[in-house]
């Protein structure tokens, strides 16, 4: 047995993660290619569970955050999860079909095909900011591809993780899908998975990728980053502000694809500020009420306050957007702020913000903006506001990011026929829809040799006839 084959086995179980992994691997070996009916049943069980337990799920996430409204959870996590599963159910039978491929004329009467096969046991590591959606998205792809799946949620999502472990365990056996409360990251990420999906910070992503490399485990990494937003001169500033601030402030800015910083034409900055000052108080008249989400924990709360102070100390202008709103240390609520006159020496322009702070930069020439963006790490998302198709095409071709929404923010992630994934520092690999099915499948190429045994013309010993045939083949090109 090779070293790699040995690495996929766990002979001695030392902890809970290894126990579940061993159980799932044995189940995979007994039934390595679940039928369409089996996969359909698992996905439908998830749909039924999400509908029946939507209130319990919202309560658990609210408890984990300290405060997040049920409406926000149902809109951003439960609906998007259900919509993704239903889209997969509509297309799964077709995705599972073998793909016929072209065969070279040299091998006439032979034929080629690709069979999408399950990889085996897939691990999913999910962050706290959208713990349900970022579990259900890759889980849907993994089940569709026929895999067994183990899911580890962040330590900040302990209430949701316990709930899902109990509820999912009642409708899907743990040999097929298992949520693992209380399992340390070090015990989970070092398992010899057949594929590992990680969503989280770049720093932790490095650690996860290193652990996966020891087992030659392929990885999908979704790592976030500073997603830029550009308002072009032809676009209505007030309408852009209304759309951008929705994406920025939902979940109190704790979104990996939230607009992180804004470029606005120099002569339209004040118009954007005025629009923001009019819009935000209507949406969040009191940042202590149920519509506005808490920062996840004290560490994150202190980091955001320190980031804001660093910007102010280095010359930025801070503009609170809700009159009279104060920082609430007990509920960990930070009033939304615009941050003007920012420079690259400030932490707010160096680190992913992950909070309700929005720095604004001005520009005169769009080429300056694309140059600035291209000098930095590739972001997970990119937002452009323009009605001019030439401008849109130019900016898209001159920049690279994970995904793009034109004239709004974040909604590309809800289009299930679009792949979701990063580029460079913002990640690798992709999932959602068909691309998710492909990511977590082994596309196994199968070639059927020609019925007419003409390939023996190339068997040794090599003769003048062999050399003549090779001469013809080498010259045979379009």
Partners of residue 383 on adjacent β-strands = 229, 405
| Residue written as token pair 């993994």 | 142
Q: Would you say residue 310 has pLDDT above 80?
A: yes
Partners of residue 111 on adjacent β-strands = 448
Residue 450 DSSP symbol? P
Chain centre to alpha carbon of residue 57: 21
Q: Where in the chain is the domain with CATH 3.40.309.10?
A: 228-421
Residue 378 DSSP symbol? P
Q: Would you say residue 475 has pLDDT above 90?
A: no
Mean pLDDT over the full length of the chain = 95
> What's the fold here for domain 228-421?
Aldehyde Dehydrogenase; Chain A, domain 2 (3.40.309)
- List, for residues 331-364, the tens digit of each pLDDT value: 999 999 999 999 999 999 999 999 999 999 999 9
> How far is 246 from 75, CA to CA, in rounded Å?
13
Q: Would you say residue 262 has pLDDT above 50?
A: yes
> How far is 151 from 44, CA to CA, in rounded Å?
19
Q: Are 293 and 304 in contact (CB under 8 A)?
A: no
- Catalytic residue numbers read 222, 256
Q: Are 403 and 431 in contact (CB under 8 A)?
A: no
Chain centre to alpha carbon of residue 183: 22
- Give the whole-number percent of the chain exceeding pLDDT 90: 89
Alpha-carbon Rg of the chain, whole angstroms?
26
Q: Are 258 and 357 in contact (CB under 8 A)?
A: no
Please report which confidence band the pLDDT of residue 478 belongs to, taking 50, 70 and 90 as the band edges.
Answer: low
pTM exceeding the 0.85 threshold for the entire prediction: yes
The pLDDT assigned to 5 comes to: 43
The pLDDT assigned to 293 comes to: 97
The pLDDT assigned to 172 comes to: 97
The pLDDT assigned to 477 comes to: 60
- List, for residues 264-285, the tens digit of each pLDDT value: 999 999 999 999 999 999 999 9
Q: Would you say residue 448 has pLDDT above 60?
A: yes
The pLDDT assigned to 166 comes to: 97
Q: Would you say residue 109 has pLDDT above 70?
A: yes
- Largest Cα–Cα separation, the chain: 92
Kindly list the distances between the CA atom of residue 440 and the CA atoms of 111, 142, 217, 289, 342, in Å, as whole numbers in the listed order: 25, 6, 12, 42, 42
CATH 3.20.20.70 assigned to domain 3-223+429-442? The reply is no
Q: Would you say residue 222 has pLDDT above 90?
A: yes
Contacts of 447 (CB under 8 A, 6+ apart): 103, 107, 110, 111, 112
> How far is 150 from 148, CA to CA, in rounded Å?
7
Helix segments in 327-446, DSSP class H: 366-374, 389-398, 433-439
The pLDDT assigned to 162 comes to: 98
Q: Going edge to edge, which strands form the sheet with 111-118?
A: 99-101, 111-118, 441-448
The pLDDT assigned to 6 comes to: 53
Q: Which residue has the higher pLDDT, 408 or 469?
A: 408
Q: Are 33 and 146 in contact (CB under 8 A)?
A: yes
Chain centre to alpha carbon of residue 19: 28
Q: 171, 120, 176, 119: which is closest to 151 by C-alpha?
A: 176
Contacts of 434 (CB under 8 A, 6+ apart): 91, 95, 417
- Reduced to 3 states (helix: H, G, I; strand: E, B; else coil), residue 93 is helix
Q: 312, 451, 380, 403: which is closest to 129 by C-alpha?
A: 380
Q: Are 399 and 372 in contact (CB under 8 A)?
A: no
Q: Would you say residue 404 has pLDDT above 80?
A: yes
Per-residue tokens: 424: 């460079």
Q: Where in the chain is the domain with CATH 3.40.605.10?
A: 3-223+429-442
């Amino acid at each position: 047995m090779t070293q790699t084959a040995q690495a996929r086995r766990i002979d001695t179980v030392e902890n809970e993660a290894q126990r579940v992994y061993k159980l799932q691997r044995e189940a995979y070996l007994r039934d390595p290619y679940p039928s369409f009916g089996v996969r359909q049943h698992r996905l439908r069980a998830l749909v039924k569970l999400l509908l029946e337990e939507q209130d319990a799920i919202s309560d658990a996430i609210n408890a984990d955050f300290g405060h997040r409204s049920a409406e926000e959870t149902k809109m951003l996590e439960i609906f998007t999860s259900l919509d993704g599963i239903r889209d997969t159910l509509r297309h799964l039978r077709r995705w599972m079909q073998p793909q016929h491929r072209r065969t070279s004329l040299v091998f006439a009467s032979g034929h080629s095909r690709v069979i999408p096969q399950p990889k085996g046991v897939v691990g999913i590591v999910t962050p706290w900011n959208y713990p349900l959606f970022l579990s259900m998205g890759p889980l849907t792809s993994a089940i569709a591809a026929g895999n067994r799946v183990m899911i580890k949620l962040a330590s900040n999502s302990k209430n949701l993780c316990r709930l899902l472990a109990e509820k999912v365990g009642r409708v899907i056996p743990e040999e097929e899908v298992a949520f693992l409360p209380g399992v340390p990251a070090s015990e989970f990420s070092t398992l010899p998975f057949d594929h590992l999906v990680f969503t989280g910070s770049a720093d932790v992503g490095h650690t996860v990728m290193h652990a996966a490399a020891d087992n030659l485990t392929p990885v999908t990494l979704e790592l976030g980053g500073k997603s830029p937003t550009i308002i072009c001169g032809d676009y209505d500033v007030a309408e852009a502000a209304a759309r951008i601030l929705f994406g920025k402030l939902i979940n109190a800015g704790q979104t990996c694809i939230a607009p992180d910083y804004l470029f606005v034409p120099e002569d339209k900055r004040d118009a954007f500020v005025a629009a923001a000052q009019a819009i935000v108080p209507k949406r969040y008249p009191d940042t202590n009420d149920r519509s506005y989400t808490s920062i996840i924990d004290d560490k994150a709360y202190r980091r955001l306050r320190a980031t804001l102070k660093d910007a102010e100390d280095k010359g930025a202008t801070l503009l609170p957007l809700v009159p009279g709103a104060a920082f609430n240390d007990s509920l960990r609520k930070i009033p939304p702020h615009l941050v003007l006159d920012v420079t690259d020496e400030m932490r707010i322009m160096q680190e992913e913000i992950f909070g309700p702070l929005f720095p604004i930069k001005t520009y005169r020439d769009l080429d300056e903006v694309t140059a600035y963006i291209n000098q930095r790490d590739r972001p997970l998302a990119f937002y452009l506001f323009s009605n001019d198709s030439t401008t849109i095409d130019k900016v898209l071709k001159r920049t690279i990011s994970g995904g793009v929404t034109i004239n709004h923010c974040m909604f590309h992630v809800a289009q299930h026929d679009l792949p979701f994934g990063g580029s460079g520092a913002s990640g690798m690999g992709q999932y959602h829809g068909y691309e998710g099915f492909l990511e977590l499948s082994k596309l196994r190429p199968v070639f059927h040799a020609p019925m007419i045994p003409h390939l023996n013309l190339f068997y040794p010993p090599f003769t003048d006839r062999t050399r003549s045939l090779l001469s013809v083949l080498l010259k045979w090109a379009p």
